[in-house]
């Protein structure tokens, strides 16, 4: 299979100065004294990408993903190393980059086509498809400075994805526009992949990487950490993120026993700690959907005369849809309620059987009927759920398909 992108020992180094004046001092220094320190945005990157491959690029913020894409597209020059690219590139690095706000939508279509190396005659053949894909109506004849951000994104994506490039580069832009437009973009990308277009896809959505890509590149702190099959590399990357979450939480969290209990007037009780733990009692921000987790809640009681108080935990999606709610009244459990510090643990034995995405927890203390809240805290903790099933809705329901009624 033909190599379409060949990168050998690529480096991108930036000189960092503590103060702006240090740059001038370095230039004027008669002894050529150095006032800077070197920062390697990319450090000895080597990889080959074959024609027709769909490659996902993962890494935490600041790891060098966008720098690599900008060098591939020619926006940036490398400090050292070799890079050979064969074929026309259409890049969605920053939606609308290269658009002139004073030009109309149509004029910007031709402008971008020219920058990509297409003649006017070639763009004449593509312009109707681009306009139809963008679907912004008569605004196509208005200056883009009058566009909403959604309309601007539609046109930019339509131009980039409909010029039939040999290499398509997408950097975290599939969240633009409404749901229908996102679906249209997804379908178009799938068709391009089937048509042997090489796709480089950067996203923090691991589930999207797994759906679209067959190969995965993991970059960490400017270095190539791993390259291989999408499932293997993405699994290793997710494990790395979970370890990172644990380490970060361990550094910043104070242990509850070290927090002094301070009596308060006119307050009945309050939750002072809410942590999500794995089976090793490590604090986590990311979990697999079928992973057993525990919620540890610590609450201070200032008025122990309340009879049969109730503790509740709810789960909501990032768009505020109510997913699930549990409380001790429904489960006929009494919670500790002595003056001072108390603790309760809720265990999700079978995990949280939801589709991939970000969710958050609410926590509440109620009086005995679970009607009047003593305290209600929304979005007390966010959790990212990773599922290996691409479904619709919210839940992953255990199920089987059978070919006949009597089987």
CA angle 165, 95, 72 (to 5 degrees): 50
What pLDDT score was predicted for residue 239?
86
Would you say 224 and 11 are in contact if contact means Cβ atoms under 8 Å apart?
no
Please report whether residue 246 resides in a domain: no
Residue 202 shares a structural domain with residue 350: no
State the CB neighbour count (10 A cutoff) for residue 37.
10
What pLDDT score was predicted for residue 177?
57
What pLDDT score was predicted for residue 248?
67
How many domains, the chain?
A: 2
pLDDT digits (tens, 9 = 90+) for 130-154: 999 888 889 999 998 898 877 887 8
Please report whether residue 251 resides in a domain: no
What pLDDT score was predicted for residue 237?
92
Would you call 144 helix, strand, or coil by DSSP? helix
Domain-ending residue, one of 194, 209, 241: 241
- 227 Cβ contact list (under 8 Å, min separation 6): 47, 215, 216, 217, 218, 233
Q: What are 341's two structure tokens?
A: 């510090």
Residue 233 shares a structural domain with residue 325: no
| Mean pLDDT of each 10-residue bin along the chain, 407 residues long | 91 91 88 89 93 91 90 91 89 72 91 84 90 89 87 83 84 62 77 84 83 90 93 90 72 54 83 93 91 95 92 92 93 94 94 92 92 92 88 81 71
Residue 365 shares a structural domain with residue 324: yes
79: Cα separation from own chain's centroid: 29
**Measured CA distances, 110 to 127, 131, 159, 256 (Å):** 8, 12, 9, 62
- 246 Cβ contact list (under 8 Å, min separation 6): 282, 283, 284
Please report whether residue 302 resides in a domain: yes
CATH code, domain carrying 9:
3.40.50.300
Residue 80 shares a structural domain with residue 172: yes
What pLDDT score was predicted for residue 300?
94
Residue 211 shares a structural domain with residue 297: no
What pLDDT score was predicted for residue 324?
93
Closest CA to 275 of 257, 258, 296, 251: 296
* Sole residue written with tokens 């909501």: 316
Residue 221 shares a structural domain with residue 299: no
Residue 295 shares a structural domain with residue 373: yes
What pLDDT score was predicted for residue 258?
54
What pLDDT score was predicted for residue 135?
86
Residue 292 shares a structural domain with residue 380: yes
Please report whether residue 155 resides in a domain: no
CATH code, domain carrying 267:
2.70.50.60
What pLDDT score was predicted for residue 179?
64
Dihedral sign from CA coordinates of 220, 224, 226, 229: positive
- 360 Cβ contact list (under 8 Å, min separation 6): 315, 316, 318, 378, 379, 380, 381, 382, 383
The pTM for the full model equals 0.62
Residue 12 shares a structural domain with residue 72: yes
Residue 221 shares a structural domain with residue 171: yes
Q: What are 172's two structure tokens?
A: 């975290």
- List alpha helices for 213-337, DSSP H: 230-252
Residue 270 shares a structural domain with residue 372: yes
Please report whether residue 123 resides in a domain: no
Dihedral sign from CA coordinates of 127, 128, 134, 140: positive
Please report whether residue 325 resides in a domain: yes
Closest CA to 299 of 266, 338, 265: 338
What pLDDT score was predicted for residue 291?
93
Please report whether residue 147 resides in a domain: no
pLDDT digits (tens, 9 = 90+) for 209-244: 888 888 999 999 999 999 999 999 998 998 888 787
Q: Which domain holds residue 42?
A: 3-87+166-241
CA angle 394, 399, 400 (to 5 degrees): 145
Please report whether residue 400 resides in a domain: no
Closest CA to 342 of 377, 298, 306: 298
């Amino acid at each position: 299979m033909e190599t379409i992108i060949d990168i050998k020992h690529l480096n991108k180094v930036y000189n960092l100065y503590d103060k702006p004046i240090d740059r001038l001092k370095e230039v004027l220094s008669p002894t050529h004294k150095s006032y800077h320190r070197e920062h390697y945005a990319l450090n000895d990157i080597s990889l080959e990408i074959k024609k027709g491959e769909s490659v996902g690029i993962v890494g935490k913020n600041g790891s060098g993903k966008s720098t690599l894409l900008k060098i591939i597209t020619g926006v940036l020059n490398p400090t050292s190393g070799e890079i050979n690219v064969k074929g026309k590139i259409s890049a969605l690095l920053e939606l609308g980059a290269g658009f002139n706000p004073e030009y109309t939508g149509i004029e910007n279509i031709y402008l971008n086509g020219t920058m990509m190396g297409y003649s006017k005659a070639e763009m004449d053949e593509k312009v109707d498809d681009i306009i139809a894909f963008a679907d912004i109506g008569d605004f196509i004849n208005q200056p883009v400075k009058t566009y909403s951000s959604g309309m601007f994104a539609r046109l930019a994506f339509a131009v980039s994805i409909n010029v039939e490039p040999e290499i398509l580069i997408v950097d975290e832009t599939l969240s633009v526009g409404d749901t229908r437009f996102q679906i249209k973009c997804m379908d178009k990308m799938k068709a391009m992949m089937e048509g042997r277009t090489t796709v480089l896809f950067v996203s923090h959505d691991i589930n999207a990487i797994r759906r679209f890509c067959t190969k995965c590149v993991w970059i960490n702190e400017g270095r190539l950490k791993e390259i291989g099959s999408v499932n293997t590399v993405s699994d290793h990357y997710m494990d790395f993120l979970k370890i990172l979450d644990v380490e970060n939480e361990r550094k910043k969290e104070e242990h509850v026993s070290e927090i002094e209990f301070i009596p308060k007037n006119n307050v009945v009780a309050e939750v002072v700690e809410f942590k999500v733990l794995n089976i090793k009692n490590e604090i986590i921000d990311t979990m697999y959907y079928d992973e057993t987790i525990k919620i540890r809640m610590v609450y201070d009681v200032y008025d122990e005369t309340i009879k049969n108080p109730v503790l509740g935990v709810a789960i909501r999606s990032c768009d505020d849809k109510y997913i699930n709610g549990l409380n001790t009244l429904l489960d006929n459990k009494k919670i500790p309620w002595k003056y001072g510090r108390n603790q309760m643990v809720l265990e999700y034995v079978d995990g949280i059987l939801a589709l991939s995405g970000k969710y958050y927890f609410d926590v509440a203390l109620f009086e005995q009927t679970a009607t009047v809240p003593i305290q209600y805290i929304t979005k007390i903790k966010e959790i990212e759920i990773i599922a290996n099933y691409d479904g619709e809705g919210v839940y992953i329901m255990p199920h089987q398909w059978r070919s006949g009624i009597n089987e």
